[in-house]
Each structure stands twice: as structure tokens, then as C-alpha cells.
Structure 1
Amino acid sequence: MDAIMNPQEEFIFRSKLPDIYIPKNLPLHSYVLENLSNHSSKPCLINGANGDVYTYADVELTARRVASGLNKIGIQQGDVIMLFLPSSPEFVLAFLGASHRGAIITAANPFSTPAELAKHAKASRAKLLITQACYYEKVKDFARESDVKVMCVDSAPDGCLHFSELTQADENEAPQVDISPDDVVALPYSSGTTGLPKGVMLTHKGLITSVAQQVDGDNPNLYFHSEDVILCVLPMFHIYALNSIMLCGLRVGASILIMPKFEIGSLLGLIEKYKVSIAPVVPPVMMSIAKSPDLDKHDLSSLRMIKSGGAPLGKELEDTVRAKFPQARLGQGYGMTEAGPVLAMCLAFAKEPFDIKPGACGTVVRNAEMKIVDPETGASLPRNQPGEICIRGDQIMKGKRKSPHIKIR
């Protein structure tokens, strides 16, 4: 019977891939580095700006030192640390160190205005702000007024802490922290559909579930592996790069090539130099690559996967990219910060890929359930009917963080 005629009938959509075991009891940092012994000496983070390389052993050790250093400067479990940084190794190290400490990371766009930053810091109740010296003028006034510590990762102006106070701390002095799976570890800000940006509370269990839904299992939906070099040209302050590049890359033991800013000439050169195999991008970046007059000057044959997200991928652009990169799997995913963030993922990216419909954003991720409802009647709808997406699973946000100037309805 048609769902509109019978509101009691439920149409529940699940992944074509089977559910998998997910170790939700682990802290996030332990989960993403769970297989450290298999690749401790291989490159983990590659700084595209200067060529610096951090091995997995380097990253794991430094994260524990950061946790110890955070404790020494007074950061407690549950405190919020605000990252005001471009994509960089320091961003990753600060995030993992905060997870070890039981603290919470919130991140801001480096192009934010001083007023926007002050509002974000106040709403999140940040205790420490980690940034670069070039952004100090944007943050110094509200930091002084709000008694927020400021730390710089490069040169530290007078009155600032330096990131070396964390990275050179004694890892053996890091306190033992009892982390619950439901503790918040990340607090990205999202405008959602109404009003001012609100803090989205993502837990250890939630982010582990989201990463596992993508890259875990015998036939992962998103087939990354330890021999991959994953491009990170997208900003880590955004949930797309934070989750589907940084955390997924760490989980599988891949090398993550970090670009602090997008510049098409540098990007093409770095893909060729480091033999990048995975390129998670957004449509404007994909357009720049496909339309670049210098494209034929570079050997980009190492690319085996081009993954689009953040906005719909138009058919014309999709066809152009397929023609330019016939060796690469191309597709897109769909998500929103509040959903952890990935709701749907293209099954062409699976280890054992499925045929897909061009233009589709994929099917619901595994270990989750989705239904489409009529927004007027609430009736559950069958396939090929427009409606509102409802999804459930452990990857969903814990809730929105209340702040002094926002009322949650």
C-alpha cells in the first residue's frame, strides 16, 4: 500500500553493505591510531608548504606530549580549545593531543573577522586559542578581555605562549583521563537552517562511528588504504576535511598531504611529486583542476579516486572530469555537520564497487537507518519521492551547545 495512504507504513533505507563491528568504547585518538604498529615508520603528515614529514610514530608521540603540555598550562578535561589555523600538521597534533587530554576542539576560519572570532570563542567558552602570529591582531583584544590564553605555532608575540610548550612536554607526565564514549571531542560550528552558527557536539563514539562507516570493514564504503597518499587541500576547520580526510586517513594509515591554501599550480605540482592517489575536493576545486591550462604538463596518473562533496556536482563538470581522469573512480557524498557528518556515500568508492547512477550522492552509510518523510504529513515515503531526510545512528550529534546569546528551540 502507498505510504501516503497508510501513514503507519515505514520505508526504512539501509546500506547495500552489511553492518560491521565498530569499537565505540575507545577514545577517538586510540581508535584512529589503533593500527599504529603496522605503519609506525611510514609518513603520516606531509607539509606541502615546506616538505616536512611526520611519521606515524612522530604523530603518536607528539600527541601525547601535547596532552601533557595542555595539562601543564591548566587545560582540564572538558575544556574547549579553539584552533584558528589553516590546514597544517599543528592542527592535527593539537586535535589528537586535545583528544588525549579529554578536551574539546572547536575550529574557526582564519578569514573570520575579530567580531566573529570573539563571538565564537565566547559561545564555545574557549580557554585556549591556538593560532599563527599573523592572526594575533585579530584575537588579542577579546583574548585579553575574556582571559583566554593565546598560543602561536610559529613566532610568538609578547604575551603569547608558544606551541613548543606542548610539543616538547614530557609525555610521561600526561595525566590518565577516563574518557566516556559520550564525551564531546569536537565542537564545529554550523548555521544549520536558521539563525546564528551553533556549536555541534560531536562525541568520541559519534566520530568513531562515522569514520568506521566510511573506511572500516572487509569491503569499506570508502576504500582508503595504507599505501594511499590523500590530498588535503580543503580546510581542516570544516567537518569534511576533519572527518573524511584527517580522521579517515589516520585510521587506515595513509599519508596525508596537507596544503595550507589552494593554488592550482602548486596543487598540480604536489599531486605529481607525491603521487597523490585520493583527491577529496569540492566542485570549485574540481573545476579548477579540470579546466587548468597546465593540466597536461603534469603526470596525474596516480589519482585513483576523486571524491566530491560540500555542494552538488553538476553533470557537465562530472563528464569533463571523467574524460580527463579515466583511470579514477569519481563520485560524491552527502552530509551535514549535525549528522556526524556523512549521511550518504557513493558505492563506486567501495573496495568492491557497485555501479552507480551519475549525479547521485550515494546511498545511506552502513550501521545507520534512513527514511524520507513528507514534511506536511510526517508519512514515510517510498523510493523516488521527494521529502525530508531522517537518519539515525550513533554518528549523529549529541546536540547543540547552549551559549549566552543563542536560544535553542
Structure 2
Amino acid sequence: MGSIAPPEETIFRSKLPDIEITNDIPLHSYCFERLAEFADRPCVVDGVTGKVLTYAEVDAAARRFAAGLHGVGIGRGDVFMILLLNSPEFVVAFLAASHLGAIATTANPAYTPGEIHKQASGCGARLIITESCQVEKIREFAAERGVTIVTVDDGPVEVCHRFADLLATDAGAIPAVEIDQDDVVALPYSSGTTGLPKGVMLTHRNLITSVAQQVDGANPNLYFHKDDVLLCVLPLFHIYSLNSVLLCGLRVGASVLIMRRFEVVPLMELVQRYKVTIAPFVPPIVLKFVKSPLVDSYDLSSIRMVMSGAAPMGKELEDKFMANLPNARLGQGYGMTEAGPVISMCLAFAKEPCEVKSGACGTVVSGDSHGYINDPEATNNTIDQEGWLHTGDIGYVDDDDEVFIVDRLKELIKPKGFQVAPAELEALLIAHPSIADAAVVPMKDEAAGEVPVAFVVRSNGSEITEDEIKQHVSKQVVFYKRINKVFFTEAIPKAPSGKILRKDLRAKLAA
């Protein structure tokens, strides 16, 4: 019997020229490498208050806050959690981590206490930065674990430090720290191959490499410049916004306009008032734009680039959206937290742009992956021995080397670009005494793209209702993880191995 030839290995490369990537300075030094040139330019603009911080002011604030963190016991290699909506304080806190050689893990303030506790304990967070309205979620946990709480407003003085007090520390108190490029600086959480949340270790090298491949070089893939105004409405606790908006914006000396949360009318007001030029969005925001009757009431002509990611956008939605923005280029990117996060980027965004096809996610960008914190098994399942990251997604590259994503091998559900692990919801469902078995799959939704729905087998004699099941889950999870609909069934289809046959359930929904 003849031997079977090994599969042919094909490596796709970017069409753009190679660039030099800095490998000898930490992330904050890389982002502020041109500080002397940008010192007096606006760096962070608070869309709520209108307050403007220059590059020199942001750099100085990060240094002072790093010194303040050191004063309460945070040092090289320590993890602290940023539990904040978009704000100047978020920016300062993240940069302070880099100054100290510490690690910032980011979390959604909408999380339930249980979700916050899981992440904080899983990564060993020693301090949490948040708002006073969040303190009750973490007070007991922090007391039990010896975790320090810092509030950006006036929190309960008996249990909290004030952000402003740490910010008043002399920057000279920062200890001399030798930071290695392979030290972890960011620890965003993503769901991986098992569908359970895992902390993704992103090093100084990871993030510098990713930002450089987007905005550095003679013909950068993502052509931002110092006169741009970047709208930062996507949550900074998500790697897309943290990397491709904040860090890329800082690197080129642009102004980053901070919006705490998305609302379509205030967003259009900010675009008009500040003449926003770069608009990083996700498809649900684009859908709100398209459906708003007020779009024509605002001058959005300053926008020259619309970036979309986190979920696919269909051609029909693209076309409707772009009819309102005749001066803009729109394109999609593809990535995952584990990739740091960019995998491919639309060449329509380059300084010397290329025409791209609707639905394409751009061309390949090389990445550098470090794995999951405290989870070597998951790391080995995702990054092979040759260093290749296995994304779990199905796609293809056409004759023009453009990447198209067809479907996901991973089971993640992405309502509005957020990540929902079916296994997490299934565990909550099965824990209910009136539920014998359950499976969670995505169902298409016009507003969110897709939403989690549950197939449920009632326990013998149980008469549990759809509303009771929804309430059981919703009180334990953040809003976007809530079950949208419940389908009662006699049995959950499974393979002999016990694995849920989700494709059969998705077929039922499509029938």
C-alpha cells in the first residue's frame, strides 16, 4: 500500500512591504516614541465632559499613577483589573501597567459579581480599578482575597483608595524596572477551544508587533496620522478597541475621542462636533446608523475611514451604510484575542489603498501568540509546536490573496460582537433542578447578528416555563449572554462521544 503524501503547506503573506519592528523598548515607550513631536497635541478627549488631555499630560499622568500603584503594592508581574467603561482613567491605568512591568486584565463592568470574581481569582488580580457603583459587586470578594479597590470617583472610604490620590503621587517614586519584551502586559479574556473563558497573555512584543503591522512603515496597512480624530466608542476592555483604536492612535499622535457607551444620536453629535475622521465600528452599530431617521440631520462628512470587525457585515448593510458616507472607505478586518488580535486587515485602509471585494477581511497580517494564563493544555491545543495559531475558523483565500471567513469551528456565539460560550450557559441551565438537559446555539438576529437560544429537556414532571428559564439565566450573567428564546425538546442530539450535535439544532432553527 502506498504512503499518503503529507498535505501541502501554503503560507500567505501580506502584499505590503516588510517593516522594521522595534524589539528593545516596552509598550508605553513605543506608543510615546514621538512624544517630543506630539507633546502639546490633543491625545485623549473626553466626549462626556469635553476635557482634553495632551500627549504630555497623558504620559505624565500614567507615570504618576504607576508610582501610586507601586505605593499600594503593585509591581512587576502583578496583575490588576481595569473594571471600567471607556474613560481617560482607563487609558492612564493601562499605560501605568506598562510603566511598572505589571499586567492589566480588562473586564466588562456589566459582568455579574460571579463573573468578575471568576476572572479576578483566575488571574490572581491584586487590585481592581472601578467606579463606586461597582463596589458592592466586589466588596466581599476583595475583603476575602486581600484585593485592593481603587475607585475613579468617590467610593466608600473605608474600603477604597481614590484614583485621584494615586494620581497625585510623585512620578519619581516609580521603581527602576527592567522590562523584557516577552513580559505580559495585557490579559484580556477570551473564550477558547473549550468554550470557557481564558486569560490571553499578550506581551509587550505581541502588542508592539501588532500595532507596528497596522500603522508603521512607508505604506501602513492602517493609514492613521496625527491630524486624525479617532472615535473610541467600542469598549476598551475588548482587544479590538484597545489595540486598533487606542494603541494605534497613540502611536501616530492622533486624537482619541472617548465615548463611554454607544448611543446613536450622541455618537452622531460627537462626530459632527469634533470632525471625527476614523470610525471603528461593529455591525450592530452600523445597523443602528442605517435605521436611524436622524442620520441626515448631522454632518458626518469628516469620516474618511470606517473599520468594522468582531462580526461579519453583509454586503446589503455595507451598501446602505456607505450611502450616508460618500467620502469614506469601509472595510472589514479579522482577528482574535489570541492573535493579539489582528489576523487580516483591509488594504483599502492603506496609505496607498488597494481595491477590495465586499465581504473580504483583507490580507494576512503575521502575528505572535503567547498562550493562555495558567492553562497549558488550552495553549497547546491552540498553538502548535511550530508556533502556528489555530483559529478554529473556516475560511478561504481567493486568487487575489483576500481572506474570506465562511464559518467558525469554535462554538462561540457573538451577539453584537461580544463573545458568549455555550458551555457556560449550558452549565447554568443544567444546574436547575427542573432541567434534565440543555444545549445552546446561535440564532440569527437582525439587530445583534446572532443571539443565544436554548434547547431544553424538562425533568420528569417538570412544568418549568420559558420565562422561568430566561430569568434563571439572566440573573447570573451579563446582558448579552441572556437566553433569547427557549425551545422545549424530548432529547438533545449527541454523538456517541457525548458531544452535542449543534449542527442538528442549527438545522432545526433554519427549517
Match of 1:172 in 2: 172
Question: How far has the Cα of 1:165 moved from its partner?
Answer: 2.4
For residues 389 and 93 of structure 2, the distance between their equivalents in structure 1, rounded to whole angstroms, comes to: 39
Give the deviation of 1:290 after TM superposition. 2.4
Indicate the residue corresponding to 1:191 in structure 2.
191
Q: C-alpha displacement at 1:67, in angstroms?
A: 1.2
Partner of 1:268: 268
Partner of 2:150: 151
Give CA deviations for 1:148-204 in whole Å, capped at 9, x if unaligned. Answer: 000100112132000012211101121110000000000011112323200100000
Q: Distance in 1 between matches of 2:100 and 2:139?
A: 25
Question: Does 1:30 pair with 2:29?
Answer: yes
Instruction: Look up the match of 1:392.
Output: none
User: Closer, same or farther in 2 for the Cα pair 1:129/1:223, shift >3 Å?
Assistant: same
Q: Report how far residue 71 of structure 1 moved.
A: 1.0
In 1, Cα distance between the equivalents of 2:405 and 2:242? Answer: 30
Question: Pairwise CA RMSD of aligned residues?
Answer: 2.2
Gaps of 5+ in 2: 369-385, 409-511
Letter in 2 for 1:106: T
Deviations 1:295-321 (A, max 9, x none): 111111100000000100111101112
Q: Deviations over 1:39-72 (max 9, x none)?
A: 1101100111111111000001111111111111
TM-score (norm 1): 0.89
Instruction: Tell me if 1:282 matches 2:282.
Output: yes
Q: Residues 348 and 176 from structure 1, CA distance in 2 versus in 1: closer, same or farther, beyond 3 angstroms? A: same
Amino acid at match of 2:89: E
1:335 lines up with 2:335 in the alignment: yes
Residue aligned with 1:128, SS: strand
1:104 is displaced (CA, Å) by 0.1
Whether the 8 Å CA contact 1:98–1:104 is kept in 2: the answer is yes
Could you state the TM-score of these two structures normalised by the residue count of structure 2? 0.71
CA contact (8 A) 1:12 1:371 kept: no
Deviations for 1:240-272, whole angstroms, at most 9, x for unmatched residues? 101000100100100000011111111000000
Q: State how far apart, in whole Å, the 2-side matches of 1:104 and 1:179 are.
A: 12
Identity among equivalent pairs (%):
58
Amino acid corresponding to residue 351 of structure 2 in structure 1 = K
Q: Does structure 2 conserve the Cα–Cα contact (< 8 Å) formed by 1:226 and 1:252?
A: yes
Asked whether the equivalents of residues 19 and 367 of structure 1 are also in contact (C-alpha less than 8 Å), the reply is no
Corresponding position of 2:82: 83
**Runs of 4 or more consecutive aligned structure 1 residues displaced over 6 Å after TM superposition:** 367-373, 384-389
Alignment match, 2:181: 181
Gaps of 5+ in 1: 376-380, 390-409
For 2:397 and 2:221, how far apart are their aligned partners in 1?
24
In 2, Cα distance between equivalents of 1:271 and 1:218: 29
Q: Is the 8 A contact 2:277 2:305 kept in 1?
A: yes
Distance 1:128 1:372 in 2: 31
Within 5 Å, give how 1:391-406 maps onto structure 2: none
Q: Which shows bigger deviation, 360-369 or 57-66?
A: 360-369
CA shift for structure 1 position 109: 0.6
2:271 equivalent to 1:257? no
SS at match of 2:111: coil
| CA-CA distance at 1:371 after TM superposition | 9.0
Superposition pairs of residues 93-242 of structure 1, within 5 angstroms: 93-158=92-157, 159-242=159-242
Alpha-carbon spacing, 1:383–1:320, altered in 2? closer, same or farther (3 Å): closer
Identify which range, 113-122 or 7-16, moves more after superposition. 7-16
* Change in CA separation of 1:344 and 1:135 when aligned onto 2, cut-off 3 Å: same
When residues 50 and 232 of structure 1 are mapped into structure 2, their CA distance, relative to the original with a 3 A threshold, is same
- The one-letter code sitting in structure 2 at the alignment partner of 1:242 is L
Note if contact 1:128-1:149 (Cα within 8 Å) is conserved in structure 2.
Answer: yes
The size of the alignment, in residue pairs, is: 379
1:94-122 deviations in Å (ceiling 9; x for gaps): 00011101100001111100011111110
SS at match of 1:324: coil
CA-to-partner distance for each residue in 1:354-405, whole Å, 9 max, x for gaps?
01111101110257899999x9xxxxx985799999xxxxxxxxxxxxxxxx
Supply the AA of the counterpart residue of 1:200. V
Instruction: Tell me, in whole angstroms, the C-alpha distance in 1 between the residues paired with 2:271 and 2:287.
Output: 16
Q: Is the 8 A contact 1:15 1:363 kept in 2?
A: yes
3-state DSSP class of the match of 1:214?
helix
What CA distance in whole angstroms lies between the structure 1 residues aligned with 2:316 and 2:194? 32
User: Where does residue 378 of structure 1 map in the other structure?
Assistant: none
Q: Given the alignment of the two structures, is residue 359 of structure 1 paired with residue 329 of structure 2, yes or no?
A: no
Distance 1:266 1:94, change over 3 A: same
Aligned to 1:63: 62
**Does structure 2 retain, via aligned residues, the 8 Å contact 1:213–1:367?**
no
Q: 1:282 is aligned with what amino acid?
A: V
Any residues of structure 2 matched to 1:378-397 within 5 Å, and which?
383=398
Higher relative contact order, structure no. (Cα contacts within 8 Å, ≥ 6 residues apart): 1
| Rounded Cα–Cα distance in structure 1 between residues aligned with 2:235 and 2:210 | 19
Q: Counterpart in 1 of 2:304?
A: 304
Partner of 2:307, secondary structure, is strand
Deviations 1:213-252 (A, max 9, x none): 1000010000000000000111000001010001001001
1:362 aligned partner, one-letter code = G
Name the aligned partner's letter for residue 14 of structure 2. Answer: S
Instruction: Report the Cα distance in structure 1 between the residues aligned to 2:84 and 2:168, rounded to whole angstroms.
Output: 20
Shift of residue 76, structure 1, vs aligned partner: 1.5
Q: Match of 2:227, SS? A: coil
8 Å CA contact retained: 2:43, 2:52 = yes
- Larger of the two Rg values belongs to structure: 2
Return the alpha-carbon distance in structure 1 between the equivalents of residues 19 and 156 of structure 2.
49
